[in-house]
Every structure is written in structure tokens, then in C-alpha cells.
Structure 1
Amino acid sequence: MSAPLKIDFVSDVSCPWCVVGLYGLTQALHILRDEVSAEIRFQPFELNPKMAPEGQNITEHITEKYGSTPEQSQKNREMIRARGADVGFAFRTDGNSRIYNTFDAHRLLHWAGLEGRQQPLKEALFKAYFTDGGSPSDPVQLANIAESTGLDRSRAEAILGSDEFAKEVREEEQAWLSRGVSSVPTVVFNGQYAVTGGQPVETFVGAIRQIISEAKGGTVS
């Protein structure tokens, strides 16, 4: 009998390591499909909550925020591209890409969770931004993405044209900050075990088996 596993995936849709982490996690869950019955809930985190709607050039932003040189940014993108390829995801960002405000995307994700369509929307948002070069702050693009995952377009447009779910998203963001989450992805299993960063598949497999074993009162060497 498979063990139940509740997973809170705290992340931002403009975070490349969150893509690597999600695809690593889902592949690990596929490997463990006979051992665990997992439920993933995507939790909001904004890397750049004060970012203007028009966004900012990615190289310029990384230099300002982290002090990285353009060469370091390029090397980091190449590393992320390789890690994405390992899990079957195509990163196509370059030095001319932009960083955007993601709050409205998180509001849509909150709604998608109520509709049971959160993971398809999350993956579509990742692809739209990192593979197709789209903007996760553009309401028309967001409505298109929502519709492409089977969500009701007119409902998505109504949410984007209002402040609906803004309070809920801000409360969720604050709750995770208050629990000490300061970087993403942070993957929390059963409300108590956390794995951070874009970990490879085998790391997630090992962590999940350890968690299951401890829950059953056993040990894993």
C-alpha cells in the first residue's frame, strides 16, 4: 500500500531552479509511484515583489541584485540550461531576456488550485516564460496560458481584471516567510521535512524514501 505524502512546493514562476526542482521532483515521484501517493500544492513566493509590470533586463537585474558580471550570468544560464536538459525542459533565456512581476501569475495559480488544475498551469507558466520568452505579468498572455490548460478564459480574465485572491496570496506568502523560507524552491514534505534548491531526481528519491521510512518508524541507511 502506497504511503500518503503531502508536498508544499514553494516557488516563483520566474525562478529557473524552481523548474529544475519541480521536474526532478515529478520524475522522482514517477519512480516511486508504487511507494507513495503524493499530493503537490504550489505555494507562492515572489523573488521580485517590487518589480514594475514592464520588467527589467535580466543581465542588468542580476548585476544589480547579486553583483554578478555579465560573464557570470551567462555561465549560470548555461549551467541551468544543462540541468534543464537533464530533466527534459528547454531553457531558451539569454542576456536580452527580462525579469517580470509575477503576482498576477500567483493569483491565477491560487485559483487553479481550487479548480484542481494547479500543476498544469504551473508547468505552462514555466514553459511560456523560460522556453517561449513570454511575460508572466501580461494579462492577455496569462489568460491564454490559463485557457491552454483547460481553465475557463473568461473567469481568468475576470480574476486578472480585479484584486481577487490578492489577499489570499499575500497571506500565503507571509506564512511561508514567517516559517523561514527565504529561497526557492523550498519543497516541504508532510509539513515538516524541507529540501531546498533545484535538486536532481536521485536526491528527491532518497529524501522521500527516508521520510516514508521515518513516518513508518523505520530507518533508511
Structure 2
Amino acid sequence: MAAMTTPSSSHLKIDFVSDVSCPWCAVGLGSLEAAIARVAPRVTAELHFQPFELNPQMPPEGQDTFEHLNQKYGSTREQQAQMREAIRQRGEAVGFVFNPEGRPRIYNTFDAHRLLHWAELEDAAKQVALKKSLLKAYFTDAENPSDPEVLVRLAAAAGLDAARAREILASDEYAAETRARERMYTDAGIHSVPAIIINDQHLISGGQPVEVFERALRQIAGAQPSGVVSA
């Protein structure tokens, strides 16, 4: 009787290009993590969060959300409420809670990206924890992701050194590196987020459903089950 063989496992590197003020990024991350859980243990993945600013010119005090979206897209209050509810339902499906009242203001997120860059250098797992905390703070708790005190508290909760986080925020450390990464992705043609890049070559755009991410992970890892074909 022939010995049974165990399928080999595959490990994927995933760069998640996003902004902490992007609701579809929160949805997309929830979907992607659910997909990663579905393909484990045969396929494993390591997440790295890369910077993208939806509103790089946003002043420190931010802007009223309705005013900002109305100016940017021409959307009415009713249209914004409908979109907010659609996003809330998509988030709920993957375990992310959006504040039903929405986010009162849009803020500058550059300092949050600087901290995320530092967190990646410290520990990839701590960067993931910080990113998820930033999304929750903004979209669930309606906190200001440009407030240094909020950022230091979230960094400490993610297991990072609070004093070092405060030192970084009080300086321009990692500003040049963060800008360089932003340019790298925009120069590569990424102008909307989330953009998920797997193994530096496969791009998935948008906050896709769990099934779409799962199928892509299996195909890229070479672990596509029989009877399932690509979209």
C-alpha cells in the first residue's frame, strides 16, 4: 500500500496598501483575514501595511465629513447615509463594527502612517495590531487618528514603546521613508485603496468579499482545490 503524502504548505507575503481613514480598507482587511483563516494551515500569510493617504493635504484640524464628501463627490446627506449603511453591513459581515453615526470629521493620517512604518521595523505582528487599533479608533470609536495622545495610546496597546512613539511623533522621523513608500505605490499605478499585493506581483483591488480573497490566495499559493475555477 502506497504511503499517503501530506500537501506542502505555502507562505505568502501580503502588502496591504491602505489609509486608516478609508472605510473600505477596514472592510477589505476583515475579508482578507477571514480568507486567510479559511486557507490555513495549508496556506499562511504575513501582512505588511503600506501607506496611502486619501487626503494628504488635509489640515491638522480636519474637516467635517459631510462637507468633505460633498465637495469631493457631490454626494447629498441621503446618499452618504445610504453608503454608510452599506459599508456598515459589509463590515458587520466580517466582524468590524462601524459607528452607526459615522465619523464626524476627516483627519490627516500622515503621522499614523509614520508610526505604522516604525511598527513594521519593530515587529510585523505589532504593526498588524496597531493598524487594526487605528481603524477601530477612527471608525468604531470616532477618535482622532491625528491626535498624538491617541496615537501614543494605541501604539502602547499594540505592544510598542510609548516613549519611543511619542519621540517619533514629536520629530520628523520616518517622514522621508513614508513619503518614499507612498510614491512607490502611486508610481506603480495605485490610486485607490485598499490595494492588496501578494508576493510582490499579484494585485487585488478593493474591499472584496471573503470568497474572492480566498480563491485568490489558493490560486496564488498553488493550493487550488479540485472543482474550483478562477473568476
- Settle same-fold status: TM greater than 0.5: yes
For each residue in 1:106-151, what CA deviation from the matched residue of structure 2 results, as whole angstroms up to 9, or x when unmatched? Answer: 0000011011111000000001100111001001111111111111
- For the structure 1 residues 22 and 96, does the alpha-carbon distance in structure 2 shift closer, same or farther, using more than 3 Å as the test? closer
Describe the superposition over 1:34-79 as per-residue Cα deviations: whole angstroms up to 9, x where unpaired: 2212111100000000001111111110000111111111110000
Q: Does 1:82 align with 2:89?
A: yes
Partner residue, 2:148: 139
Runs of 4 or more, structure 1, over 4 Å off, are none
Alpha-carbon contact 1:213-1:220 (below 8 Å) kept: no
Q: Provide the aligned C-alpha RMSD in A.
A: 1.7
Cα displacement (A) at 1:95: 5.7
- TM-score normalised by the chain length of structure 2: 0.91
How many residue pairs get aligned? The number is 219
Residue in 2 aligned with 1:66? 73
Q: What is aligned with 1:54? A: 61
- Equivalent residue, structure 1, for 2:3: none
Using the alignment, how far apart are the partners of 1:57 and 1:96 within structure 2? 9
Q: Which residues in structure 2 correspond to 1:120-139 (within 5 Å)?
A: 120-139=129-148
Q: Is the CA contact 2:194–2:205 (under 8 Å) kept in the aligned structure 1? A: yes
> Is 2:214 the partner of 1:169?
no
* 1:2-34, Cα deviation, whole Å (9 max, x unpaired): 112111100000000000000110111011112
Query: Under a length normalisation based on structure 1, what TM-score does the superposition of the two structures give?
Result: 0.95
Question: Residue 222 of structure 2 aligns to a residue in which SS?
Answer: helix
Structure 1 pair 52–93 and aligned structure 2 pair: CA distance change class (3 A):
farther
What is the identity percentage for the equivalent residue pairs of Structure 1 and Structure 2? 55
2:113 is the counterpart of 1:106: yes
Which structure 2 segments of 5+ residues have no match? 1-7
